[in-house]
Amino acid sequence: MKTQPNLQRPENHTMNWFQHFLLLCSGGNIHILRKTPSEWNKFAGIGGIVLFTAVFATLSAGYAMYTVFDDLWVSVAFGIVWGLMIFNLDRYIVSSIKKTGSWGNQILMAVPRLILAGFLGIIISKPLELKIFEKEVNKQLNTIIQRNKTKLQAEMNSRILQQSSPFENEKKQIQEKTAIYQASYDSAAVELEKEILGKQSGLTSGKVGYGTNAKRKAELKEQRRQDLENHRASSAQRLEYLDREISKVYTNIETERDKTETIEDRFNGLAARLQALDELGKDSAIMALAASFIMGLFICLEIAPVLVKLISSAGPYDYLLDKTENDFRLYAHEKIQKGNASTDHRISSFKRALNDEKEPL
């Protein structure tokens, strides 16, 4: 005659508060676990991994939010909420894996959970990578900021050249025309001096003194001086206007550049740090390898409870859980059958009553 296993918890097996807490973290059924003390260590280990994963998720989200909002209390609040969400999700992932059925069915059940756990590991690991490599990331951020400023300066110079070019061209044309008038005046002054000194040239008579030719050249010099002064007087207002417009272009773009550089100096948010970490990984194979190891560590930590549950053999807890669920299935099936039978009986009674009413007296 087969003996039934003793499902009552032996008196010498007592569960302390911490062990009870870890069993709750594992997602196991506490009422069934109390009857299977041999499973406590396994489920306590799973619960510990789930707990520490939630702790790391809290730290990761808190640091990520601090880089975004730069507010300690907001970061702490969001980190706690995120950690609780990851904790609850991990508990569900682990508790939803059943050790019943064939090995293939268990694999099919575990694959989507492993994929989800892997994604959670990547999400948790990234902010912690930023914190671990904070010094290197800050240095790379400065490099990115200076690179952006250099690019910004080139863009601003191009815009200054483009916007001020029409004014500069007109100003240059006026200055060139002024230079022509000045050259004409200087030439007339030189010819007058040569005429007075009696120097022979193609345009002078070679006679010393202030004669008729010298008087004529003096009149020409005076005429050209007047032309120069008139041109300067007529273009002075236009030159002032052009200088003001050119100054406005420089002032507006310099103001815009100062504002943009202020924004660039604050280029230290989460996305910027992720960009810096990515560039560090591309520039340094050691950094890429270290970041990969850290990410792999958190992925392994996240999928560890699922793997432990998957590769471990079915134990007393799994048998009792399957029995409990099967009892509920049988109870529900029995209630449904009784309900259907009662309904069929009422329908038959109602039909007989209708037939009796239709029969003639």
In this predicted structure, the answer to whether residue 300 has a pLDDT above a threshold of 60 is yes
Please list the residues that pair with 201 across neighbouring strands.
204
In this predicted structure, the answer to whether residue 45 has a pLDDT above a threshold of 70 is yes
Q: Could you tell me the residue ranges of all domains in the chain?
A: 17-132+286-327, 139-268
Integer Cα distance of 224 and 184 in angstroms = 7
Q: What is the mean pLDDT of the chain?
A: 80
Q: How confident is the model at residue 195, as a pLDDT?
A: 67
* Domain 139-268: CATH class, spelled out: mainly alpha
Which are the contacts of 271, defined by CB distance < 8 A and separation ≥ 6?
none
User: DSSP assignment, residue 204?
Assistant: B
The rounded radius of gyration (Å) of the Cα atoms in the chain is: 46
Q: How confident is the model at residue 11, as a pLDDT?
A: 44
More confident residue, 100 or 236: 236
For the chain, the straight-line distance linking the first and the last C-alpha, in angstroms and rounded, comes to 66
How many other C-beta atoms lie within 10 A of the C-beta of residue 72?
A: 11
Which are the contacts of 153, defined by CB distance < 8 A and separation ≥ 6?
257
Q: How confident is the model at residue 9, as a pLDDT?
A: 45
